Structure 1
Amino acid sequence: MALPIHSPAFSDALVILGAAGLVIPTFARFRVNPVIGFILVGILVGPAGLGSLTSHAPWLYYLTITNPHSIDAFAELGIILLLFSIGLELSFKRLWAMRTQVFGIGAAELLGSGIIIALALIALGQYWTGAIGLGLALSLSSTALVLPIVGTSGPVGRLAFAMLLFEDLALVPIIFGLGAIAPFGGGGVENALHSVLYGGGAVIAMVILGRFLLPILFAQAARTKSPEVFLAASLLIVIVASTATTVTGLSPIVGALLAGILIAETEYHGEVEGTTAPFKGLALGVFLITIGMSINLRSVAEYWMQLATAVVGVVAAKSLVTAALLRLSGVRRGIAIETSALMASPSETTLIVLGVATQGGLIAARTAAFWQTVTAIGLTITPLLARIGSDIARRIEVASREDDPLKDTGAIPGTVVVGFGRVGRLVADMLRTHDKSFVAVETDIDAVAEARREGYPVIFGDIARPQLFERLNLGNREALVLTMDQPALSVRIVRRVRRLYPDLPIVARARDTTHAAELYRAGVTSAAPEALEASLQLSEAVLVELGVPMGPVIASIHDKREKLHHQVRDAANLDFQPRITGTRLRDLES
């Protein structure tokens, strides 16, 4: 049987797969967010781009998508799989812990942004019912773009997720609320009550049944040892859950999110996440291509001033509302700004609400088309807004004195850790484990901002500058730890610190034994050559694997370390007075 090579569905599938195969590796090579790549592909190959030239160049038919609605189903599947994957990262315990953020900040952000946008539209002449519909539509933010950019593990991701989760839950009430006030949409209140009743019942039923049936289903799939069966079971659960919430009047993304949360409660969530990840990425790419196809460059060129004003107005209103709410709730300034930038653009669900408002007669078709273009542009610039917000937040975090680690600890004895890379972070974690106070110094502004978000007391500064010595109050500190991999700089700092503070213990990271000897000559108390320590760790590991008892192994490693320290100090022409860090031999023997 011949392949239907002239079928639009076949041609569109080739374009989508080709775009995914080219966009992801190409933009990853140049470290550019692939979100932008997919949207640009949609603009290029869509009906308003090269697709409009197929009548003059028929060969373009195989490289373009002439019917934007032909891939709508794939785009919706992408959003469903995205919400499913987000649910896999959650649990009911985590959701309960987030209830204040979801129903507090989330509700306030949605309503606050919607009211401000609606009032602005009313002032511009829009009738109040249409202004409410547009305000609520534009106040929604993109779950499909924001969470892949920021994740859900950090403070910014958690806040964004809480607000996005409320927006997803509020989508159905918004749709039926608009139906209630629409001149051609009667029965909205009755339909809303119907959806709440039956939808709530479906959710409760899925939670109860999922707790008992999912472990059994995945256990059977796991016994087959077939990845295909495991994938089929996962997709079946997503489809059933999404269908159940759709039939009862809720959004399918609610069912997908709930399915992910239920699976997250089982021991199979890691395997499910890995199995479905490739499909999620491809389906999300399809959704982004549809966004690009909705942008008509000719219309953008014709009405660029009005479109730019509208985009800036929406972004500014949502950013200000979100940032103000987060600051009032006690969130640090940098985190509030970064989160507000992420939440500033409209959403893919904005297009759904605009369609409902148009069908109900709340807004004219031409008005809806204008705001659809604004939404598409807003989605396109979301990665750019995220980058701008992140850069501003980092600088604010570093410059801010509200959480300056030296503000309260400058006179408190403790350890100063210079450098907060891989080694510095590990040293800080060990100091925390033993309840030892410390403050870290780092020259990388991004590393400082990230560490502060995670709660580490880190300041931005260059230890090579003498002014920082006074600020760090090294004379009252218990120890100085140098962890940066810059041999010449570490030797220079040791000499300067030893000259100013002769009694301060200084422990330094050394690249090798030669560098360690230089550090000892400069006045360091103890140096840890990386090559030496790695060799000792490898020796310990192989001896244990060969069956040598742990006690003699540790004792021999300790003796070898002491002898090597002797050799390094001898190379530095200094009298050896060992200050071996860690557990002493007598402690090990006991």
Structure 2
Amino acid sequence: MEYILIVLIVTIAISTVINVFLKKFDIPTVIGYIFTGLITMQLFNFGEHSQETLAHLAEFGIVFLMFTIGLEFSIGHMKAMKKEVFVYGALQVMLSGAIFTFLAHTFIGLEIKSAIVIGFALSLSSTAIVIKLLTEKDQIHSGFGRIAVGVLIFQDLAVIPMLLMISIFTSDNSSVSELLLHTLWSAIVVFLILFIVGKYFIERFFDWVTSSNSEEIFLGAVILVVVGASVVAELFGFSYTLGAFIAGMTIAETKFRYRIEADLVPFRDILLGIFFITIGMQIDLSIVAEYGWIILGLLVSIMLLKGLILFGIIQFFAQKRSAIKSSLTLMQVGEFALAIFALAYTNKLISSDVNQIMIMTVVLSMILTPFILNNIKTLADKLFKEPTQLRERAISSTGYQHHIIICGYGPLGKKLAKIFKAKNLLYLILEHDVKVVDKAIENGEKNIFFANA
């Protein structure tokens, strides 16, 4: 008991010191937790049994992360962002996953199942880091911010089939079709149970709990729902995380969504901190020293290739500048890739060396992300210049006085412009999509300018 307390105190102390230091350089706490795990492992050298226990604790952290993602999953929100989520996101995950799988199998020589797991894990970006930084910098609703969020939402949804894919690859059942049929049937049962409970009982349950006027009882009830849903999913052969995600979705439709989200954030962040500490504990410095150049080569190659794939997809639908910013924002590999690597390693789909190399590559890409986002405007300026005609038009707009500003040239913007023009009112349109601006100019609209309102 005394030994456990010493480990706990030292771990908290190291985590606090590292994160306070890293915060001065705008590096997220995720990185601090990973380095805390690395240092703690070197100091105490946990045995295999202890690491297995910590791995289960780490999975508990992912359960609560998936629950909070479920809370943010709104059908109405999905409809409003259907292009960003289901077009950009789907194309990005499928193309990136396929290309990385091909490269891992063909050039690195990994067995096809291992290559698929690694390839699609690398298609994921860091929801935790990107959303946090975009929110802090008030860029979450910008053109590129909206695209990034849409892609991240699809990536979060794609984690579920990726985790299921590992279960299929490691199943002892020789008939894949039989396994898929059983999985489909189990999925229907799990969804029915959780959604029926969520629709008809969950709100009444929380109404009853809130009548106690006790914050700790309410939080305990939330934990009961999350863990209960996770266990139900596990009983039918799915991961705990799937059950937690569905539980989050059901609660998202109730009036308690925002209270639960607010109450759970500190609790979730602590558990996530534990998860990332356990990831840091898996880093083997001897592997890093032995494969340093390979890790560096993979880091540069993966981020560049992922950025190019993202740009190639988005530039067909949005202006090139937004495509560049979105690509720079999402070119890292995210925390869910670490969870997938950990699960794949546990199920012997990837070797210890490959696991260590990929963990370090992912961690380094996450470390670079804050520096990229802090300088995203400068990087975008170097990679793409606004068209001269539009820059000159933007400069000339400074002569306007006492005019009406229309933000955006969508259906409503066009209708307003038509009304103002009919009444001879002076107006100015600000539109962030260069293609829309070009088309409007071609159609004779002289008062439209390229800008982000």
For the residues of structure 2 that align with 1:311 and 1:71, how far apart are their CA atoms?
27
| 1:511-526 aligned within 5 A | none
List per-residue Cα deviations over 1:136-172 (Å, max 9, x = no partner).
2322333343333335952545433433343343345
Match of 2:322 in 1: 335
Asked whether the equivalents of residues 178 and 188 of structure 1 are also in contact (C-alpha less than 8 Å), the reply is no
Note if 1:190 corresponds to 2:178.
yes
For the residues of structure 2 that align with 1:180 and 1:192, how far apart are their CA atoms?
8
List per-residue Cα deviations over 1:295-343 (Å, max 9, x = no partner).
3333323322111001111111211111211122x23334333332333
* Among candidates 115, 125, 134, match of residue 141 of structure 1: 125
Match of 1:38 in 2: 33
Asked whether the equivalents of residues 222 and 260 of structure 2 are also in contact (C-alpha less than 8 Å), the reply is yes
Structure showing greater Rg: 1
| 1:278-317 aligned within 5 A | 278-317=266-305
Tell me the CA shift for residue 271 of structure 1: 1.9
Deviates more, 1:354-363 or 1:222-231: 354-363
Match of 2:96 in 1: 113
The letter of the residue matching 1:41 is T
List per-residue Cα deviations over 1:411-443 (Å, max 9, x = no partner).
9965479xxxxxxxxxxxxx99x9873589xxx
Tell me the CA shift for residue 93 of structure 1: 1.6
For the residues of structure 2 that align with 1:193 and 1:388, how far apart are their CA atoms?
49
The letter of the residue matching 1:219 is D
Partner SS for 2:207? helix
The letter of the residue matching 1:136 is F
| 1:145-544 aligned within 5 A | 145-151=129-135, 153-154=140-141, 155-175=143-163, 177=165, 186-328=174-316, 330-354=317-341, 363-389=350-376, 391-393=378-380, 399=386, 406=393, 410=397, 415=402, 437-438=427-428
Gaps of 5+ in 1: 53-60, 418-430, 441-450, 458-475, 478-590
The letter of the residue matching 2:360 is T
What TM-score, normalized by structure 1, do the two folds share?
0.59
Partner SS for 1:381? helix
Query: How many residues align structurally?
Result: 415
Match of 2:411 in 1: none
Gaps of 5+ in 2: 405-415, 421-425, 438-445, 448-453
Match of 1:56 in 2: none
* Among candidates 3, 7, 25, match of residue 6 of structure 1: 3
For the residues of structure 1 that align with 2:343 and 2:69, how far apart are their CA atoms?
27
The letter of the residue matching 1:143 is T
Deviates more, 1:397-406 or 1:114-123: 397-406
Asked whether the equivalents of residues 87 and 259 of structure 1 are also in contact (C-alpha less than 8 Å), the reply is yes
List per-residue Cα deviations over 1:522-565 (Å, max 9, x = no partner).
xxxxxxxxxxxxxxxxxxxxxxxxxxxxxxxxxxxxxxxxxxxx
For the residues of structure 2 that align with 1:265 and 1:276, how far apart are their CA atoms?
17
The letter of the residue matching 2:279 is I
For the residues of structure 1 that align with 2:336 and 2:345, how far apart are their CA atoms?
14
Asked whether the equivalents of residues 177 and 189 of structure 1 are also in contact (C-alpha less than 8 Å), the reply is no
Identity, % of aligned positions = 26
For the residues of structure 2 that align with 1:278 and 1:356, how far apart are their CA atoms?
26
More helix by share: 2
Asked whether the equivalents of residues 207 and 262 of structure 1 are also in contact (C-alpha less than 8 Å), the reply is yes
For the residues of structure 2 that align with 1:194 and 1:408, how far apart are their CA atoms?
64
For the residues of structure 1 that align with 2:56 and 2:164, how far apart are their CA atoms?
23
Partner SS for 1:6? helix
Tell me the CA shift for residue 391 of structure 1: 4.8
Match of 2:68 in 1: 85
Tell me the CA shift for residue 279 of structure 1: 0.8
| Residue 352 to residue 230, structure 1, CA distance change in 2 (3 Å) | closer
User: Over aligned residues, Cα RMSD in angstroms?
Assistant: 4.2
Tell me the CA shift for residue 198 of structure 1: 1.6
List per-residue Cα deviations over 1:196-224 (Å, max 9, x = no partner).
33223322432333123222122222222
Asked whether the equivalents of residues 405 and 439 of structure 1 are also in contact (C-alpha less than 8 Å), the reply is no
**Bigger RCO of structures 1 and 2 (CA < 8 A, at least 6 apart):** 2
What TM-score, normalized by structure 2, do the two folds share?
0.75
